[in-house]
Amino acid sequence: MAKKKQQDTLSSEEKIKEAARKVFMEKGYAATRTRDIAEAAGINLALLNYYFRSKEKLFELVMQEKLSSFFGLILPVLQDPASSLDDKIHTIADRYISMLAANPDLPLFVLNAMRNAPKKFAAMLKGADHLLQSAFARQLKERNPHVAPEQLFINIMSLCIFPFAMRPGLEVISPEIGATFNVLMEERKKLVPKWMRAMLKVK
Amino acid sequence: MAKKKQQDTLSSEEKIKEAARKVFMEKGYAATRTRDIAEAAGINLALLNYYFRSKEKLFELVMQEKLSSFFGLILPVLQDPASSLDDKIHTIADRYISMLAANPDLPLFVLNAMRNAPKKFAAMLKGADHLLQSAFARQLKERNPHVAPEQLFINIMSLCIFPFAMRPGLEVISPEIGATFNVLMEERKKLVPKWMRAMLKVK
DNA sequence: GTCTATAACCTGATAGAC
DNA sequence: GTCTATCAGGTTATAGAC
pLDDT tens sequence across A103-123: 999 999 999 999 999 999 898
Tell me what percent of the residues of chain B surpass a pLDDT of 70: 95
Considering only alpha carbons, which residue of chain A is nearest residue B27?
A116
Which residues are CB-contacts of A17 (< 8 A; sequence separation ≥ 6)?
A58, A61, A62
What local confidence, expressed as pLDDT, does residue B137 receive? 96
With left for phi above 0 and alpha for psi between -120 and 50, is residue A25 left, alpha or beta?
alpha
Q: Provide mean pLDDT across the span A27-49.
A: 98
Q: How far is the alpha carbon of A37 from chain B, nearest alpha carbon, in Å?
A: 17
What local confidence, expressed as pLDDT, does residue A8 receive? 65
Sign of CA dihedral A135, A139, A145, A150: negative
Of the candidates B29, B163, B174, which has its C-beta nearest A131's C-beta?
Answer: B174
Q: Do domains A7-53 and A63-200 have the same CATH topology?
A: no
pLDDT greater than 90 at residue B77: yes
Find the residue closest to C3 using CA and C1' atoms. Answer: A44
Kindly determine whether residue A28 and residue B30, on different chains, have CB atoms separated by under 8 Å.
yes
CATH topology for B7-53 is: Arc Repressor Mutant, subunit A (1.10.10)
pLDDT greater than 90 at residue A127: no
Query: Domain B63-200 classified CATH 1.10.357?
Result: yes
Number of other residues whose CB lies within 10 A of the CB of residue A144: 18
Q: How many CB pairs under 8 A join A and B?
A: 162
The Cα–Cα gap between B188 and B194 comes to 9
pLDDT greater than 80 at residue A54: yes
What local confidence, expressed as pLDDT, does residue B119 receive? 93
Considering only alpha carbons, which residue of chain B is nearest residue A131?
B174
What local confidence, expressed as pLDDT, does residue B13 receive? 98
The Cα–Cα gap between A158 and A164 comes to 10
Q: What is the mean pLDDT of chain A?
A: 94
In Å, the largest CA–CA distance within chain A is 60
What local confidence, expressed as pLDDT, does residue A129 receive? 66
Kindly determine whether residue A184 and residue B151, on different chains, have CB atoms separated by under 8 Å.
yes
Q: What is the mean pLDDT of chain B?
A: 94
Q: Which residues of B touch A129 (CB under 8 A)?
A: 172-175
What local confidence, expressed as pLDDT, does residue A43 receive? 98
Of the candidates B29, B112, B121, which has its C-beta nearest A108's C-beta?
Answer: B112
User: What is the pTM assigned to this prediction?
Assistant: 0.95
Q: Which of B154, B167, B185 to mutate to test the interface with A (most CBs of A within 10 A)?
A: B154
Q: How far is CA B102 from the centre of its chain?
A: 10
Q: Which residues of A touch B166 (CB under 8 A)?
A: 111, 114, 154, 157-158, 161
Out of A37-46, A93-102, B122-131, pick the least confident: B122-131
Q: Which nucleotide is nearest to A50 (CA to C1')?
A: C1
The Cα–Cα gap between B42 and B10 comes to 11
**For chain B, which residues make up each domain, given as ranges?**
7-53, 63-200
Of the candidates B111, B161, B199, which has its C-beta nearest A195's C-beta?
Answer: B199
Residues whose CB is below 7 A of strand C: A 11-13, 43-47, 50; B 32-35, 45-46, 49, 53-56
Write A16-21 long-range contacts (CB < 8 A, 24+): A16/A41, A16/A43, A16/A47, A16/A48, A16/A51, A16/A52, A16/A58, A17/A58, A17/A61, A17/A62, A20/A58, A20/A59, A20/A61, A20/A62, A21/A62, A21/A65, A21/A66
| Number of residues in chain B | 203
Q: Which of B74, B96, B111 to mutate to test the interface with A (most CBs of A within 10 A)?
A: B111
Considering only alpha carbons, which residue of chain B is nearest residue A128?
B173
Kindly determine whether residue A114 and residue B202, on different chains, have CB atoms separated by under 8 Å.
no
For residue range B12-68, what is the model confidence (pLDDT) as tens digits? 999 999 999 999 999 999 999 999 999 999 999 999 999 999 999 999 999 999 999
pLDDT greater than 90 at residue A65: yes
Kindly determine whether residue A147 and residue B191, on different chains, have CB atoms separated by under 8 Å.
yes
Structure confidence at residue A124 as a pLDDT band (50, 70, 90): confident
Which residues are CB-contacts of A16 (< 8 A; sequence separation ≥ 6)?
A37, A38, A41, A43, A47, A48, A51, A52, A58
Q: Which nucleotides of C are covered by protein (CB under 7 A)?
A: 1-5, 10-16
